Amino acid sequence: MRKIVIINSKGGCGKTTLSTNLASYYAANGYPSALFDYDPQDSATRWLSQRPEHLAPIHGVAAAHPPQGNVTRTFHMRVPPGTRRLILDTPASLKRMDLIEVLRGASAILVPILPSAIDSHVTAAFITDLRAEARRHAPEAAIAIVANRVRRHTRAFHMLVQFLEDRGQSPIACLRDSQNYVNAAAEGIGIHEMNANQTRVDRNHWQALIDWLEPDRPHAEATPANITREPVSA
């Protein structure tokens, strides 16, 4: 089983969007998957509750809350046998002990970031601290940045890319600001489960991320996203 942690101390950067679409991608492609929601806002849990029954199942755990009744936390947090991909959706702030819990045993760590100056500086500082904790508690885990809700022709996007490149942290994928994600969230599905023609561009943007996460897949290339330098507008 591979454990993939979605994390950033900055709120509103799209952690749940990344988590739910990644979990649904794996489920739709035959990987028995589980989604642990560590965010007290329960956004991923609500998404799971809306998931249509005819789609591939995803085991969900509301990890931010104590178990109900006489259920122990150990049983509450169990991962079903045969699970191949475990996705962790985390909140904007985690106590250190909770951070250690989510990082321990991680195979990969994804840090979503929005194209804004505030997000850039906050996330850069967070990644420095994250790397230190990961060396202790998830030494096998690689860390990658995912640029989220981007509009490639804007100055904000180009400034984000330059900011990251100057620090040797090029994003592994750049996901566009698309209404497809809004629609998918409302229906309990992922963009890989929507109409292929409608989501073709978004699926293409995801390919670099999937290739990075699954380097052993045929024809996968674990290389940073191809960031096209388009004309810039304000």
Q: For residue 20, is pLDDT > 60?
A: yes
Distance CA 21, CA 7 (A): 15
| Within a domain: 55 | yes
The structure's pTM equals 0.90
β-pairing, 58-61 vs 2-6, is unpaired
Picking from 95, 89, 106, the residue whose alpha carbon sits closest to that of residue 37 is: 89
> Mean pLDDT over all residues of the chain?
91
Q: What is the pLDDT of residue 93?
A: 85
| Within a domain: 85 | yes
| Within a domain: 72 | yes
Residues 6+ apart with CB under 8 A from 39: 15, 16, 64, 89, 90, 91
**Rounded percentage of the chain residues whose pLDDT exceeds 70:** 93
If one counts the domains in the chain, the total is 1
| Within a domain: 17 | yes
- Which CATH number do you get for residue 20? 3.40.50.300
Q: Which residues span the domain enclosing 55?
A: 2-213
Q: Average pLDDT for residues 89-107, to the nearest whole number?
A: 93
| Within a domain: 230 | no
pLDDT in tens, 132-166: 999 999 999 999 999 999 998 999 999 999 999 99
| Within a domain: 234 | no
| Within a domain: 221 | no
Q: Average pLDDT for residues 84-111, to the nearest whole number?
A: 94
Residues 206/220, Cβ–Cβ less than 8 Å: no
| Within a domain: 128 | yes
